[in-house]
Amino acid sequence: MEMTGAEIVVRCLQEEKVDYVFGYPGGAVLYIYDELFKQDKVKHILVRHEQAALHAADGYARATEKVGVALVTSGPGVTNAVTGIATAYMDSIPMVVITGQVPTHAIGQDAFQECDTVGITRPCVKHNFLVKDVKDLATTIKKAFYIASTGRPGPVVVDIPKDVTTAKCEFHYPETISMRSYNPVVKGHAGQIRKAVQLILEAKRPMVYTGGGVILSNASELLTEFVRLLGFPCTNTLMGLGGFPATDPLFVGMLGMHGTYEANMAMQHCDVLVAIGARFDDRVIGNPKHFYNPERRIIHIDIDPSSISKRVKVDVPIVGNVRDVLEELLRLLKETRERPDPQALKAWWTQIELWRARDCLRYDRSSPIIKPQYVLEKLYEVTQGDAYVTSDVGQHQMWAAQFYKFDKPRRWINSGGLGTMGFGLPAAMGVQLAHPSATVVCVTGEASIQMCIQELSTCKQYRLPIKIVNLNNKYLGMVRQWQEFFHGNRYSESYMDALPDFVKLAESYGHVGMKIEKPGDVEGALREAFSMKDRLVFMDFITDQTENVFPMVPGGKGLSEMILV
C-alpha cells in the first residue's frame, strides 16, 4: 500500500516502539504533525522551546535504555535545537532528531525558514541525513535508529523536506540494516584482554576509573562484581556516577576537578589503572603533562578507538563494548586462581584511608545561613537515595555529584561534556515521562533554571510532579568562584540582579512554590515537598553566597595539586 512520507515517518516511529516524541510544530513538519494527530501509539510532548525538546528526549534516553526522539521544524526550529544536539553528542546519548526542511525545489533558494541543517549540525552529530526521495525515507530512519544506538551512541539527525512528507511510495521497513562503512567493534581483542588480566594480577597499587561508558553499556552490575572480586578502589567520573554503588566502602568518590582528595591522589599514585568507558577528559585528569607517571601502567577499555590514547598514552588498549569486555575479564579472573598480592593491596588501602581521613568534603555545619551542601545531604536522606536527579550546570551540579550518593546507574542525569545550562528541567520532564511514578528531582541554580524556565508550562500541561531544588545564591556561582580564585574578586557580570520571585513564578504556572531561608527549615520543606506526589514543587533555597566547591584542581594543574577547604 502506498503511504505519504508523513505517514511513513509516523509508521517508522511506531515500528521502533517509540513512546514519546518531544517537539514543536511548524510549517515544514505540519504533515507529520497531522499524522501524529491521527494515531495514539506515539505520544507527542509539546515543549515551549526546541532546546527543551532535545533535552527532554535526552533525559528520557539517559533514564531508560531507549533512543530519545525529537521532532522540530526547519530553520529556527533546528537552530534552537542545536544546543540540545551538541549536549547529547558530547555525552554519547542515543537520539534521533527529525527535522523539517523546506521543499526540495526551494533548498538553496534562501527560502523562508530555510537553513542548511545538515551543515549546521554536522560537527555535533554522530551522523546526519537529508532525505531527498520518499523512497529512501523508511530505510534512512531505520539507519538513524541503528547508528544512534549502536557502537558509541550519539544523536542522528534526519532532515526531511516538506514535499517528501507529501510524496507517496510503498512502505517497507527493513528488519535489519547492514552498512559496509559502519561495523562497530563489540568484542575486545582476546590477546589484549589476557595482557590486562596479567597486569591486574601484578598490581600493587591498583585503581579502577570508570565513566559514562559503563552506564551506556548497562555494565554496572558487572563492574561492581569485578571491583568487589578484586577488592580494588573504584572512582567514577561525573558521567559515571551510579556505575558503581556510592555507598560501597570500595568507592573513593568522584574524581577530577571537584573530585575527592582520596580519588585524585589514588589516580595520581596508582601503579595499575583500569580505565573503563572513561576518556581522560580535561575536567578529570587536568593537564596530561602533570598526570604522567612513569610507574603507572594503564589499561583502557573503550568502544571508541579514537578515545584511546587521545590525551593519555595507554599500555593496554582494548577496543570493545564495556559490557562484553568486562564479561570476558571476569571470566578469565574467575578461571585463574591467582590474585594480586594481598599485602601490597592492604598497604595501598592504608594509604587511601589516610587520604580519606582528610575529610575533604567537610563544610561549616554551624552556619546560620543555609549551606548548599547541607541541602543536598538532606535531599539524599529525604529521598533515601531513591530519586532520579537531574542537574543543570554550575556549583549546584558539583555539590549534587559530591553529596548525593548514587547507588544505581541512570539515576544521575546531567550535561557532563558540553556543560549546558538549562538542561536540568527539560531533562527531568523526559525522566518523569519515562518513569511516571518515580521521584524526579531537578537540582538547579537561579541562573541555570532561567535558561529553560518556560518549561514550567510544559510540566503543567502534562502534570509532571517534578521537584525543583533551586540553590539560590544570587550569583553565577561557579563563575563567581573562578573570579574569586583567578580574577582578583572582580565579579564581572556574575551577579544576578533582578531575580524573579520564584514562588510567585511557580504559582503563576499553577505549581507550588516554597522559599526556604533558614537551615532549620530545610528538612521540613523537603519532606513537605516530597509528600506532594502529584504536584510540581519549586523549592527556592536561599543559600550562602560565598560558598565555594572544594576540593578543586585549578585548570591546567595536576590531580595532586588540589585546593582543599
Which residues in this chain contact other proteins in the complex, by CB under 8 A?
A: 118-119, 122-123, 126-127, 130, 147, 179-182, 304-306, 309-310
CB of 176 to other proteins, least distance (A): 17
* Per-residue cell: 415: 550535561
CB of 499 to other proteins, least distance (A): 37
Sheet holding 95-101, edge to edge: 43-46, 20-23, 68-72, 95-101, 155-161, 127-130
The one catalytic residue in 7, 16, 35, 50 is 50
Choose between 144 and 375: whose C-beta lies nearer to other proteins.
Answer: 144
- Closest CA relative to residue 137, chosen from 273, 5, 315: 5
CB of 325 to other proteins, least distance (A): 18
CB of 267 to other proteins, least distance (A): 22
The one catalytic residue in 15, 43, 113, 187 is 113
Collapse the DSSP code of 366 into the 3-class scheme (helix H, G, I; strand E, B; otherwise coil) and give the result.
Answer: coil
Choose between 118 and 512: whose C-beta lies nearer to other proteins.
Answer: 118
- Burial of 357 per CB tally in 10 Å (0-12, 13-18, 19+): exposed
CA distances from 334 to 157, 327, 338 (A): 43, 11, 9
Q: What are phi and psi of 294, to 5 degrees?
A: -65, -20
The answer to whether the CB of 345 falls within 8 A of the CB of 213 is: no
Active site residue 50: yes
Active site residue 378: no
* Per-residue cell: 231: 577488592
Instruction: Compute the distance between CA of residue 548 and CA of residue 555 in angstroms, rounded to an integer.
Output: 16
Choose between 288 and 419: whose C-beta lies nearer to other proteins.
Answer: 288
Choose between 119 and 556: whose C-beta lies nearer to other proteins.
Answer: 119
* Per-residue cell: 314: 595507554
Choose between 259 and 320: whose C-beta lies nearer to other proteins.
Answer: 320
Q: How many residues does the chain have?
A: 565
Instruction: Compute the distance between CA of residue 486 and CA of residue 93 in angstroms, rounded to an integer.
Output: 34
Choose between 111 and 118: whose C-beta lies nearer to other proteins.
Answer: 118
The answer to whether the CB of 131 falls within 8 A of the CB of 137 is: yes
Q: What are phi and psi of 337, to 5 degrees?
A: -85, -15
Instruction: Compute the distance between CA of residue 145 and CA of residue 236 in angstroms, rounded to an integer.
Output: 29
* Per-residue cell: 549: 566547591
Active site residue 478: yes
Residue 419 falls in which region: left (phi positive, over 0), alpha (psi -120 to 50) or beta: left
- Closest CA relative to residue 553, chosen from 482, 450, 453: 482
The answer to whether the CB of 21 falls within 8 A of the CB of 13 is: yes
CB of 540 to other proteins, least distance (A): 40
CB of 180 to other proteins, least distance (A): 6
Active site residue 113: yes
Question: Strands 251-254 and 297-302, how do they pair?
Answer: unpaired
Collapse the DSSP code of 152 into the 3-class scheme (helix H, G, I; strand E, B; otherwise coil) and give the result.
Answer: coil
* Per-residue cell: 106: 526551494
Choose between 122 and 527: whose C-beta lies nearer to other proteins.
Answer: 122
Choose between 305 and 520: whose C-beta lies nearer to other proteins.
Answer: 305
Question: Strands 206-210 and 272-276, how do they pair?
Answer: parallel
Residue 171 CB contacts under 8 Å (≥ 6 apart), including other chains:
1, 2, 3, 7, 8, 11, 138
CB of 284 to other proteins, least distance (A): 18
Choose between 289 and 533: whose C-beta lies nearer to other proteins.
Answer: 289
The one catalytic residue in 90, 239, 267, 478 is 478
Instruction: Compute the distance between CA of residue 144 and CA of residue 95 in angstroms, rounded to an integer.
Output: 9
CB of 426 to other proteins, least distance (A): 27
The one catalytic residue in 66, 126, 143, 162 is 162
The one catalytic residue in 14, 17, 112, 313 is 112
**Any idea which residues carry the catalytic annotation?**
50, 112-113, 162, 478
